[in-house]
Amino acid sequence: MNLTIPRAALLPALTRAAQVADSKSTLPILACALLRADGKRLTVAGSDLNLHAATTLAAPGKPGAICLDAKRLAATIGGLADGDVTLTVDGTTLAIKAGRSLTRLVGMTATDYPKLPSDAAVTYAAVSGPDVAALLDRTLPSACTDETRFHLNGVMLDARTDTATMVATDGHRLAKAARAMAAIGPGAAGVIIPRAGANALLKLCRDATAVEWGIGASPRHLFARVDKAVLAIKLIDALFPPWQQVVPASARTTVTVDRLGLLAAVKRCGLLASDTRGLTLTVDPDADDPLILASDNPDAGDVREGVEADVTGPAVTSGCNPAYLRDALTTSAADRVVIGLGGPLDPWAVRGEGDAQDVAVIMPMRVA
C-alpha cells in the first residue's frame, strides 16, 4: 500500500473504527483497525464481531492491506497537523508521513481480520438522523444491563410501517418512543438492537442530517450508513416481551407539572433516597401543596419538598426509584409532563403534555 489522503478525511474514519474495536478481546486482531486499499479507494474498518464500522474513502495509489492497533493509530493521526498524510505499508509496518513528521507503526497481517458483513442485498430506507437519535435518546437509558437477561439487553425496533417505534426495558421501567419515518419493511418487526450497537448508532445519527438504514439476513444485521460510513450491528436473536401490556391504559390521577422544576426537585430529594427507601410522591388536589416529594433515610436524613402542579383525580401516595423518574424527565423534550397514577402499587406513566407518541413507565416501590 502506498497512498496519500487528507488527514481531515482519514481521522473520522479511524475514530469510528477505534470506537468499535475491542481492545479487551482475547483475539488481538479485534483491537485493530483494518486498512485496505484497492488502488482507487481506502477502506478503514473496525469490528468486535457483533458490531462493525467501515468507511470507504477516495484514495488512489498502490493496493495493499494492514491491521494496526485502532486506538494507537487514531491517536497518531489525531496528533498530526491538518494536511495530506502519506501511508506506506512494508510487510507489517505502516509508515505515516505528514509534513516533517514520520511515524512507523508495527501492525499485523490483514489475512486474519474477520470478514465484514455485506450490505449488497440490503434495501435501504432514507430517514432523519436527528429523529433516529431522538428515539435512542428517549429509550436507551431504560435498556437492561444484566447480561443474563440478554433479550432485554438492547432496544427493540419496529419499523415495518411509516412509524418507527423503539422500546427498552430493564423490568423495573420501560421507555417507548415513536417517530414518523420511512418504513424498512417486514424484516424490521420487533428486532432487538444490542446496547453497544444502539450507542454506536446514536453517535452515527446524532450529527447526521440524512441516514439510510435497512435489515440484512444470515445472520441478521441492522445496517446504517451516512455518506461513506456504514455501520453493521448484529441483532440479538431473541423475542422482545409484549411491552404493550406494561403501559397503563388509563390513570385515576394525573399530575401536570413543569418538567425542569420537577427534575430539580427529584434530584434534590433523591440525594437521601436509598435502595430500600425510594422517593415518595404524595398527590392531593385539595392540599396546599398538591404535589409533595419526600425521602426518608434513617442513615442519612429526610427531605420534603412541595412542587407546584395541576392535579386531577383522587389523592394517592406512591413511591419510585428516583433515578428512574430522573431519567424519564431528562430524556423528555417537553416543557410540561403529565404523570399518570393509579393505586399506590400501580405503574406510573410519564408523558410530555400533549404527546401521544412517547411514554416512560416506572414500576412503583413500597415506601412504608
* Per-residue confidence (pLDDT) for residue 299, from 0 to 100: 85
Rounded to whole angstroms, the Cα distance separating 107 from 110 reads 9
Rounded to whole angstroms, the Cα distance separating 55 from 36 reads 11
Rounded to whole angstroms, the Cα distance separating 173 from 175 reads 7
CA atoms within 13 A on the CB side of 263: 16
Helix residue spans in the chain (DSSP H): 7-20, 70-78, 129-139, 195-206, 259-270, 322-330
Would the pLDDT of 142 be above 80?
yes
Which helix (H) or strand (E) element contains residue 101? strand 101-106
Class level of CATH domain 125-244 = alpha beta
Question: How far is CA 350 from each of CA 112, 261, 282, rounded to the nearest angstrom?
Answer: 50, 15, 16
Would the pLDDT of 219 be above 80?
no
Would the pLDDT of 266 be above 90?
yes
Cβ-Cβ contacts under 8 Å for 226 (sequence gap 6 or more): 129, 204, 205, 208, 210, 211, 212
Would the pLDDT of 193 be above 80?
yes
* Per-residue confidence (pLDDT) for residue 368, from 0 to 100: 62
Would the pLDDT of 308 be above 80?
yes
CB 66 within 8 A of CB 110: yes
* Average pLDDT score over the chain: 95
Same topology for domains 2-112 and 248-362, yes or no? Answer: yes
pLDDT, mean of residues 140-149? 94
Question: How far is CA 16 from each of CA 170, 276, 294, rounded to the nearest angstrom?
Answer: 28, 41, 44
Q: What percent of the chain has pLDDT over 70?
A: 99
User: Which residues are bridge partners to 340 per DSSP?
Assistant: 254, 349
> Do you find a cis peptide bond into 219, omega within 30 degrees of 0?
yes
Q: One-letter amino acid identity for 256?
A: T
* Per-residue confidence (pLDDT) for residue 276, from 0 to 100: 76
**Could you name the CATH architecture of 2-112?**
Roll (3.10)
* Per-residue confidence (pLDDT) for residue 60, from 0 to 100: 97
pLDDT, mean of residues 184-190? 88
pLDDT, mean of residues 195-202? 96
DSSP reduced 3-state for 337: strand
Q: What CATH code is assigned to 248-362?
A: 3.10.150.10
CB 43 within 8 A of CB 54: yes
* Banded model confidence at residue 283, pLDDT cuts 50, 70, 90: very high
* Per-residue confidence (pLDDT) for residue 168, from 0 to 100: 98
pLDDT, mean of residues 91-111? 97
Would the pLDDT of 70 be above 80?
yes
What is the domain partition of the chain in residue ranges?
Answer: 2-112, 125-244, 248-362
Tracing cell 420534603 back to the chain, one arrives at: 304
Rounded to whole angstroms, the Cα distance separating 44 from 275 reads 46
Task: Read off the pLDDT of residues 253-264 as tens digits, 9 standing for 90 and up.
Answer: 999 999 999 999
Q: One-letter amino acid identity for 92?
A: T
* Banded model confidence at residue 18, pLDDT cuts 50, 70, 90: very high
Task: Read off the pLDDT of residues 220-235 as tens digits, 9 standing for 90 and up.
Answer: 999 999 999 999 999 9
What's the grid cell of residue 97? 508521513
Would the pLDDT of 367 be above 80?
no
Question: How far is CA 2 from each of CA 68, 94, 117, rounded to the nearest angstrom?
Answer: 16, 10, 26
Rounded to whole angstroms, the Cα distance separating 38 from 60 reads 8
